[in-house]
Amino acid sequence: MERKDFLQKFAVGGSLLLASPMLFNACKDDDEGPEGTTIDLSDPAFSALQEVGGFAYAGDIIVIRTGENTYVALSKICTHEGCTVGYDPSNNLLPCPCHGSVYAISGAVINGPAQNSLHIYTVSKQGDMLTIS
């Protein structure tokens, strides 16, 4: 094999190798979520959920206790740049610390630069177990 052919094949092969992660991720379903995620409320890692206004992270979601037996689960990933949102219980808002986006408890954008709402999930409670779907 001549040097020119080698370099040409090397460049093409290297380009494919670099592009392959983007190609595989492009086929990924963006709506994949924590379906079937369960949270044991007796687990000390989720002790904040014992009180109304408490919140905890579970994977890529934030779970907030909003009432006596009510919980909200949303994507914790800001739709602007992918930072992790927090929770401000005094205002019932989810601020993003990176660029100032703010979301309502419904996931709706209150303040940009984010343009898209946070994904909201269904939460059901059975005993000490929360199931997120």
The pTM of this model reads: 0.71
Please tell me the distance from the alpha carbon of residue 94 to that of residue 111, in angstroms, as a whole number: 10
* Model pLDDT for residues 74-83, shown as the tens digit of each residue: 999 889 888 8
pLDDT band of 108, cuts 50, 70, 90: very high
Instruction: State the pLDDT at residue 4.
Output: 60
Q: How far apart are CA 24 and CA 18, in angstroms?
A: 11
Identify the residue with better confidence: 36 or 7: 36
Sorted by sequence, the CB contacts under 8 Å of residue 32 that are 6+ apart come out as none
Could you read off the pLDDT of 24-63 as tens digits, one per residue? Answer: 333 333 444 556 789 999 999 999 999 999 999 999 999 9
Q: Which amino acid is at 43?
A: D
